[in-house]
Structure 1
Amino acid sequence: MSGVAPLPSNVRLLHIGPHKSGTTAVQGAFHLARERLAGHGITYIGKGLHPVRPVQAITGRGPMLGEPAASTRDWDNLVAEVAATGDQRAVISSEFFAEADDAVARRVVSDLGDQVHVVVTLRPLGKVLAAQWQQYVQNGLRDSFEEWLDIMFNRPHERPNSTFWRRHQQGEIVTRWANAVGPENLTVICVDDSDPRMLMRTFEGLLDLPEKFLVPDDSTANRSLTHAEAELVRGFNQQFKAGSWPTGLYASHIRRGAVKRMKVAYKPTQHDRAIRTPEWALERAAKLGSEGAETITALGVHVIGDLELLSEYPSGRAGTPDPDVALAPQAAAEAVMGVVAASAKEAKAKAKPGKSAHDRTLREVTARELARELFARGLRKARRARKRVLKSQKSASS
């Protein structure tokens, strides 16, 4: 058993993330277990992995590049779904809740009704930096990792991603939500990466579920991009911006096309480069983690795990990022095929009523240009990789 005391039978368990704290694994497990959860009197709210649009609506967060904007009706529908669970348990999970300000946090707690219990999952910030950068790259960011780190830590007024510190000032997040729901109704889980089942076991305990009830859904694995893959996408983002292509193409052909296929179809090998984080940034992150742990301790909220983990310095991730790192040819090929597949899918779709032939032709042309550009970038990366290998072999033999 987990040793965690279960929450009341009519609880509204609100898991707010933040990002890169095991959220995808948790959400995939709950989504996969929907029918079995119902047998235990638990409803996992929403239709997909997590209710993105409703949370975007209540927090005021804009949509991802190329996606449609959310409306207040999306949030109203989620609130109604929670209310319909009556005196049974409901689970709502989305890392985008972490972007709420004080007023929104209070509004969320009020709208969800009585018996709201907030769960915050936290990992050392040093383990989050690279993962968050490549995630922003997947949404159009054009800054290199070192440029982004410099802005995040040293020039906050120039932040290209204003949501980052709202998500990851750990002490402030817990304080904000503890003020909204009450310290006695908030649990912090310090994720221990050395214990793979810790998260699942803890949620099982909170919801009074049998041991090993929650099983990660491997099909929803949200692996991070390697440094070479991220650089491929970042370079393309620069071309995309310069080309003034329709933003809808980015969502359909890049994020859900090239990037998704590359992440699913290509499995990085031990030779693929992980994203290394400069030591100075890891030191700053460890200091912030220590300060956050002190703040959380003083709040008197429930803590599961060791808060000292938040000040961890992950030395195995330290290093100087190489923006010209070689890309595996297979990864580039999968990215190109992702764009091709997206273009083929769009070509087969029926034209919407009222859409002119000129509009359809323009979109098809820009999609073809998109595919050609991505193919060209992948080819150049692959050629550079081959030259590096040949140069290395020549040096070794001389």
Structure 2
Amino acid sequence: MIPAPMAAETVDPVPPGARLLHIGLPKTGSTALQYAASRLKKRLRNEGVIYPGRGENHHKATSWLAGLRVGYLSDPTPQEQWWLNLKQELDRHEARRGLVSFEMICTTNLDGARRTVDALGDGGRVPVHVTLVLRNFGTFVPSYWQESLKRGNTESLDTYLRRVLKDPATVEASGAFHRRDGYGLLERWSAAVGPENITVIVLEKDRPTRLLDTFESMLALPAGILHSEPPVGTGANRSMSAAEAALVHRLNQQVIGEWQASSREHRNLVHHGVVHRLLSSREPEASEGKLRIPVWAAESCVEAGRILADSVRSTGVRVVGDLAELERPVPTADSAALADPDVVPFDFAVQALLGMFARSTGWSADHTTPLKQ
């Protein structure tokens, strides 16, 4: 169901032939954008926008440019050919606006940012505009923790928060806010592309269509076109309930921490098996709870949001939304709510087992597609 339209926020489009680079953050609606763009390739092309490649996002090609490892592959070293394939498609449609999207590009350093901008811009010949999407820190950090469970994280939410919030100026969640090169996130990308070529989109609960609306405006697309392909199943990438996250966390502690399973084994059976099955086959009951930060972390999240908002203001980039949202206090959970449940719903346990069984017998987690041999 397409959300009801709200009053439009005027955002000027990038010039025809320019390349719009979406760099993240993770857990800010990236899947919805990528899902829609990848399934609307032909319609977008007819509207003057090229979304290159065959995949849902541009993980591999941009990893080569940004110098990021592709951790789920047996050889995580990025290959130049991945980028060259994407470049050839962009060059074939150089009169059209290009959209390139991978939410982890934001974790690169200044050299990686400059290399990415230079390659996309063909050495300055083609205009490049960068888009960064931000959300409230009090909701972002627990959301990223539950995302990290899919990759085998064995830390509890409390332990994780104490580590990543140790310094509110350089929150370690997602790796986007590091200062390994001496720059903050927006400072780094402003140095690479210029602040006049950056748009920051701030997500707000009462503006649910802002993300896709803004991309439609920036790409001069008809209103509503990106909303016409809402993600379904695992493509929707819904958040896990507190109970689901507790189950996956306990599995990670067992299979990674104690049994020393490889990342490939974990990715196959837990990520693509248990997690995909849970997220695609059921809707959590209200009794399963929502992931929330503990009371002790609230002040640190507000401070981190304030520091980030000030950084955005100081760089002078274009902002869509209210930066005050980044530091807004959010509901917290007490210690009892953070504790692992003693029991989980029967259907919940069955679906988790079915997902793992399907993957172990050579099927996708929903048992509809045989895996490639």
* Shared fold (TM-score, shorter chain, > 0.5): yes
What residue in structure 2 maps to residue 116 of structure 1?
A: 128
Higher share of residues assigned helix: 1
Q: CA deviation at 1:13?
A: 0.4
Identical pairs, percent? 31
Matched, 1:224 2:239: yes
- Structure 1 CA distance, aligned partners of 2:73 and 2:222? 41
- Name the aligned partner's letter for residue 105 of structure 1: A
What residue in structure 2 maps to residue 274 of structure 1?
A: 290
What residue in structure 1 maps to residue 224 of structure 2?
A: 212
What residue in structure 2 maps to residue 343 of structure 1?
A: 360
Q: CA deviation at 1:351?
A: 11
Summarize the alignment of residues 253-332 of structure 1 with structure 2, pairs less than 5 Å apart: 253-315=269-331, 317-320=332-335, 321-325=337-341, 326-332=343-349
Q: Which has the larger radius of gyration?
A: 1
> How far does the alpha carbon of each residue in 1:118-156 deviate from its partner, in whole angstroms, 9 at most, with x for none?
011110111101110011111011110001111112389
- Structure 2 CA distance, aligned partners of 1:59 and 1:3? 31
- Structure 2 CA distance, aligned partners of 1:349 and 1:174? 43
Matched, 1:142 2:154: yes
CA pair 155-48 structure 1, distance change in 2 beyond 3 A: same
Question: Root-mean-square deviation (CA), in Å?
Answer: 2.6
State which of 48, 54, 68 in structure 2 corresponds to 1:41.
Answer: 48
Q: CA deviation at 1:184?
A: 0.9
What residue in structure 1 maps to residue 3 of structure 2?
A: none
Conservation of the 8 A alpha-carbon contact between 1:42 and 1:91: yes
Q: CA deviation at 1:45?
A: 2.3
- Structure 1 CA distance, aligned partners of 2:176 and 2:344? 28
State which of 2, 5, 24 in structure 2 corresponds to 1:17.
Answer: 24
Q: CA deviation at 1:166?
A: 3.7
- 1:187 is paired with a residue whose SS is strand
Matched, 1:235 2:242: no
Conservation of the 8 A alpha-carbon contact between 1:54 and 1:74: yes
Conservation of the 8 A alpha-carbon contact between 2:131 and 2:200: yes
**TM-score (ref. length: structure 1):** 0.80
What residue in structure 1 maps to residue 5 of structure 2?
A: none
CA pair 131-257 structure 1, distance change in 2 beyond 3 A: same
What residue in structure 2 maps to residue 128 of structure 1?
A: 140
> How far does the alpha carbon of each residue in 1:74-101 deviate from its partner, in whole angstroms, 9 at most, with x for none?
2332233322321211000110111111
State which of 82, 86, 93 in structure 1 corresponds to 2:90.
Answer: 82
Conservation of the 8 A alpha-carbon contact between 1:254 and 1:339: yes
- Structure 1 CA distance, aligned partners of 2:100 and 2:82? 14
Which blocks of at least 5 consecutive residues in structure 2 are unaligned? 1-7
CA pair 66-145 structure 1, distance change in 2 beyond 3 A: farther
- Name the aligned partner's letter for residue 203 of structure 1: F
**TM-score (ref. length: structure 2):** 0.85
- Name the aligned partner's letter for residue 107 of structure 2: E
- 2:361 is paired with a residue whose SS is helix
Which blocks of at least 5 consecutive residues in structure 1 are unaligned? 353-398
- Name the aligned partner's letter for residue 154 of structure 2: R
What residue in structure 1 maps to residue 209 of structure 2?
A: 197
CA pair 196-73 structure 1, distance change in 2 beyond 3 A: same
- Name the aligned partner's letter for residue 337 of structure 1: L
- Name the aligned partner's letter for residue 18 of structure 1: L
- Structure 1 CA distance, aligned partners of 2:154 and 2:198? 37
Conservation of the 8 A alpha-carbon contact between 2:59 and 2:102: yes
- 1:117 is paired with a residue whose SS is strand
Q: CA deviation at 1:62?
A: 3.1
